[in-house]
Amino acid sequence: MTFAGKRVFVTGAATGIGRATADYLVAEGAKVLGAGLDGDDGKALASRYGESRLIFRESDLTREADVQAAVVAAQERFGGLDAVVNCAGIYPTGKRLEELSDEDWDRTIAVNLTAIFRVCRATLPLLRATGGGSIVNIASVHADATVPGVPAYAATKAAVVGLSRQMALDYAVDRIRVNAVLVGSVATRMTLDGLEAAGGAEALGLSFEPNRIARIANPSEIATAIGFLISDAASFVTGSAMQVDGGLLARLL
């Protein structure tokens, strides 16, 4: 896989999977525009490489104006885009449906689903103008099998898979590939907070041990899978929901 010359827009780029993806792609030759809420973390990442290779914009991607400003920046700085990776997300826990407020539901939908819709809508013209490209949307194993107390999260991640497949069908004519990644537990701030709220990794049958099924991943392990999907090596991969979960969904109990 080579990323030399590729221009990639990564959301949620300040922390977690998004940060690991931005870091990996730039180290392998890509130019990255990162966007997210954690401004200090994002700027620290950008300062490591310089603005000729990585630009970070502090953005609230639930706001249409912030999405449009980021896309304008990609066009002005890079002259277009070759790939888009939607990593931004939240993981509200500990509430069954009847305990979930309208505000919690709406916020989860806005961040985990509507923001992806807006980013894709805004960037598709740039990908088309390039002659095609790739979109990768981060979903979750919760799209297929879930745990108690995360109704909004599970609903959004299932929707991300459906949206990705629909876009793959609609934009194949434009040579734009669209895939989702079903991630398992990853050692990010968001996931670790959720594990703690659930009583710890062991309570959910998870482990940090590298030789265990359903272990907790390092974010860099997700980044390389994302890199494959946006690379030319994945030219025949579109409309997929690729599991990168350490075997979590393969386990019966």
Beta strand pairing status for 31-36 and 241-244?
unpaired
With residue 242 as reference, give the H or E element that holds it: strand 241-244
Q: How many CA atoms lie within 13 A of 178 on its CB side?
A: 27
Active-site residue, 171 included: no
- Asked whether the beta carbons of 24 and 85 are under 8 A apart, the reply is no
Instruction: Point out the catalytic residue in the list 24, 91, 153, 171.
Output: 153
CA 1/CA 21 separation, integer angstroms = 14
Strand, helix or coil at 214?
Answer: coil
Strand, helix or coil at 28?
Answer: coil
Catalytically annotated residues? 153
